[in-house]
Chains A and B, each alone.
Chain A
Amino acid sequence: MRDTGEAGDVAGTGDVAGTGDVAGTGDTRDASGMSMRPTWSGTGRTTSLSEMSGLGAPGSGPPLGLPPGAYAAALASLPGVGPGWLAELLANWGPEQAWVRALAGQVAPPRVPAQRGERNAGASGRVSDAARRMDVAGLWQRCLQRGIEVTWFGGQGYPSALASGPAPPGVLFSVGDIGWVERCPVVAVVGTRRCSPEGAATAYELARDLALAGVCVVSGLALGIDGAAHAGALSGFQQAGEVPPAASTVGVAASGVDVVYPRQHAALWRRVASAGAVVSETPPGSPAQPWRFPARNRVIAGLARLVVVVESHTTGGSWHTVDAALRRGVEVAAVPGSVHSPSCAGTNSLLRDGATPVRGAEDVLDALGLCASVGAPQAPPKGAGSPDGLDPIGPVEEKVLVALGWRPLCLEDVVERSGLPVGAVVVALERLEAAGAVVSEEGGWWSRRA
């Protein structure tokens, strides 16, 4: 099992058993929920009507007169509810009927093994208890106040890409316009949180050009590549002034859509929500538990027509996205990187295994079968000349460039490799930076630009 990526930070548990069965919750998720539709017999223990606290009998109209979304949200908020079971329930009965059945204790999550039938019966009781305690009106009020829309499997507005794939989320909560994933071709741009500056820059530029070309970029709102991809897409979307070919970006969160995680991305989160959409299958107000990250990654893969991994270590959360994409038959592409860089090891091994190489937005558009020339802007001319009007590339600068190579180096390394005095190197680097031949990154790292 690979490390769950983001999840490690949340609970400090490090390696959590993949898709479910997290210690402590125990009752929440079907371990194989991704690949296998759970079966539900529909013959749970019948609770006598007299026990049912004066609520409408099964089959009657909506018990409290709320819109169906409220019941879908309530069902998703029940403890011990997995996506497979939820999707099945909603597809078969619709939100209101499913809710009434949950109240009546007629349904139970199917994950308890058959030989422990008694426990299973107990589970249906637990669901009905929880359903009775649930403040559906309050939950719905919270959704309305925060502008959270609720769509469910089989309902209107549910992304068709997810509906046709395996293990669809039962209920999707969203802020913003979830319609972007229907109107535009969708590409997932994902990668490691511990990325190199070039990786972030690549993700940023790739997403920006894709947005300009009318491709909706989906990612996970995490630190590193994900954040850079969202920021790039927003930049492209704003650059184009929202004229039709440009597309916005959709973030898929592991926490509730009103719970910002990671906190550093609060501003980015707001901008994504207002320009595009933030989507999550986690009920509002819930924190990002470790097991939710792999589940989130399956949604990212499910929404996309193509998954581009920009940078990835040999283990990490990106691999969940790749696995989910492969399981769904979604094409996986990767950005090649240096063979020396640990943060490119994962992407390079993907390429060896046959992933489509991506050098820029054109390659992505090609892979999607779209016209590559749409909207992609010309790169700004480089080499504008140094400020003091001198030729930027003299013999010293040439030497510094050679010493720099194509890997980020700190000043000390450049000095050591070039054998030049510190003063000469810093002056040369300043000239080269002004000429656009090198860039300096946070932390004092210098890298060469192609």
Chain B
Amino acid sequence: MLATVASATLVGVDGRFVTVEVHVSTGVPSFQVVGLPDASCREARDRARAAVVSSGLTWPQTRLTVNLAPSGVRKAGPGLDLPIALGVLAASGQLKLSSLKGLAFVGELGLDGSLRKVPGVLPLVAAISEAGGGAGAGGPGAAPEVVVVPPDCAVEAGLLGRLEVRTSAHLRELVAALEGRGGWPPLPEAAGEPDDPAPPDLADVKGQALGRQALEVAAAGGHHLLLVGPAGAGKTMLATRLPGLLPELSTEEALEVAKIHSAAGLNVASGALCRRPPFRSPHHSASAVSLVGGGGARLRPGEISCAHNGVLFLDELAEFPGSVLDNLRQPLEEGRVVVCRASATVAFPARFMLVAAMNACRCGADGSPGSCRCPPAARARYVGRISGPLLDRFDLRVRVRCPEVDELLGSSVNVASGEPSLVAARRVEGARERARQRGVRCNAELPAVALSEVAPLSAGARRLLERRLREGRLSARGLDRSRRVALTVADLAGDDAPLREEHVLVALALRAPGILGHDAGEGAHWPTGETQRVRATAT
């Protein structure tokens, strides 16, 4: 006798619809699971058997074959325990085949028959809802309209809102409900609000006019931000305020984030869909795989994917191994990362804003002229850990200074109390709206060819840029990037095109190319004009 049960498994951060087929035939009692199960999936045999027996049902003493279709896709994780157990019960006649029609099941079984939480319920439910009638020849006749999940996953499964979600705490109760002998237990109450605490407010930051401006420009334009400064200057403090400035995620974006977090095994939601952009700050001992994603049989999303549509904050950037950091270059360029393993190739979404903080040198005195105790070579070595191409990705590079005593104690009259995040967030929202009218989410995504059209230069700004280019203080690539930043600066100020000298100057100041330029070698400290001339005569 044959029974089929609808379920799903995780591939990367996406679900894949799976049909569990159970065949019972006469022969020597045995139990085979075929269809590329991994170790934790193959162990389902033992869990399912124990759960069935614990629930007061009978395990058939016949030849059992379980096929997980499509059999070409590797199945990982314990989420198929429940469908396998139900398939066995149906195939052995302990459950009516019709009672499984239109239902899909996801869940891990305990040996006592209880249903346990599994990671990635959101993408699994999404895959089941998308499967519809097109599940292929092996699929059940009707598309599932109801999904049954463990109680702990019910809220998460309900986020999608496309399928009816039912739950049950125990296999025995579930069988009773399916047979019509008992009712379905009520769904757990969803908390009304996302339960994450409000992000810290910008009003707590004392002074730091330039840092605030950089943060605002970064939030408005989606520009990657590098904060350089001595220990205790408030780099981390500034960076953690960024999520409070970013606009809320749209439903689609929030679902994307929730799916990734669900697949990564993070706590997704106990209430409504979280619309706040994620903020991830991995420690600098992070391995390359933990950052970009990968792993064993089941490829997990890394930190950069968990920061998708949000902020990836790398504190102490120079302490990250260079080989780990250079893995970020492709995702920064493409907004996704493709992880290839022998078992599978998976593309993880990874469109994040990179915010990094570091000291300018090892002694922490920030390399200010005359005060730093590091020999020049040591300083060059320290900042040399950041590769040029990665450094180039930062549109904003800002020096953060230790606030002065007056600012800290608030005793000075002329230090305005910090502006709260809400005010800045409103300006950011306005700037993002302008970007949307240009057809992009934020200015950092503007293609270079569109710049002359959307960001024309005033005569003064043109003269200024020309001068900088001639002096060799600005490169061609730097020109485009500065122009995008200048456009964001103008957007924030509410100014219309063309870009004025002031906007360009602020952009150039926020991009400070020489902020780590101690390694410039010969002539780094000679008067600029003279150096140029001397070099010219020398060559």
* Interface residue ranges, A against B (CB under 8 Å): 8-9, 193-201, 204-205, 223-224, 227-228, 231-232, 234-235, 238, 262, 264-268, 271, 311, 341-344, 387-388, 408, 410-413, 415-416, 419, 421-423, 426-427, 430, 439-445
Contacts and interface: CB of A to CB of B under 8 A. Distances in A.
Contacts of B404: 416
A266 B521 CA distance: 10
Interface stretch (B131-139, B307-315, B362-370, B430-438): B362-370
B161 interface: no
Given A234-B534, A264-B521, A443-B517, A427 B526 contact: no
A423 B526 contact: no
Q: Which of B207, B370, B401, B527 has the most CB of A within 10 A?
A: B370
A224 B505 contact: no
Contacts of A200: 525-527
B494 interface: no
Contacts of B516: 443
Which 9 pairs across A and B sit closest by C-beta, in order of nearness? A343-B370, A196-B369, A200-B525, A196-B370, A426-B505, A264-B521, A341-B370, A412-B210, A444-B512
Contacts of B528: 439-441
Nearest to A264: B521
Nearest to B460: A388
B530 A412 contact: no
B192 interface: no
Contacts of A426: 502, 505-506, 508-509
B8 to A, nearest CB: 52
Contact of A224 (B399, B400, B502, B525): B525
Interface stretch (B14-22, B245-253, B273-281, B372-380): B372-380
B518 A443 contact: yes
B370 A442 contact: no
Contacts of B508: 426
A443 B503 CA distance: 21
B389 interface: no
Nearest to B524: A442
B531 to A, nearest CB: 8
A227 B526 CA distance: 9
A440 B505 CA distance: 14
A268 B369 contact: no
Q: Which of B376, B407, B527 has the most CB of A within 10 A?
A: B527
A201 B538 CA distance: 19
Contacts of A196: 369-370
B211 interface: yes
B213 interface: yes
B145 to A, nearest CB: 57
Given A223-B376, A238-B537, A416-B404, A195 B506 contact: no
Contacts of A415: 209-210
B44 to A, nearest CB: 59
A138 to B, nearest CB: 33
Contacts of A411: 210, 399, 509, 512
A344 to B, nearest CB: 7
28 contacts: A194-B375, A195-B370, A197-B369, A197-B525, A200-B525, A201-B526, A227-B526, A231-B534, A235-B534, A238-B537, A311-B370, A341-B371, A408-B370, A410-B399, A411-B509, A412-B399, A413-B401, A416-B209, A416-B401, A422-B209, A422-B210, A423-B489, A430-B501, A441-B369, A442-B518, A442-B520, A443-B518, A445-B369
Interface of B: 207-211, 213, 367-377, 398-401, 404, 407, 414, 460, 463-464, 467, 489, 493, 501-503, 505-506, 508-509, 512, 514-518, 520-528, 530-531, 533-534, 537-538
A443 B502 contact: no
Contacts of B208: 412
A8 B526 contact: no
Contact of A195 (B399, B509, B525): B525
A440 to B, nearest CB: 8
Nearest to B501: A427
A388 B370 CA distance: 35
B335 to A, nearest CB: 30
A8 B401 CA distance: 30
B527 A439 contact: yes
Nearest to B370: A343
Contacts of B521: 264
Given A204-B527, A430-B505, A410 B401 contact: yes
A92 B503 CA distance: 75
Nearest to A445: B369
B398 to A, nearest CB: 8
Given A411-B210, A416-B401, A430-B505, A442 B517 contact: yes
A344 B370 contact: yes
B376 A193 contact: yes
Nearest to B407: A416
A271 B505 CA distance: 37
A105 B530 CA distance: 55
B538 A445 contact: no
A442 B210 contact: no
A342 B526 contact: no
A342 B371 contact: yes
A263 to B, nearest CB: 9
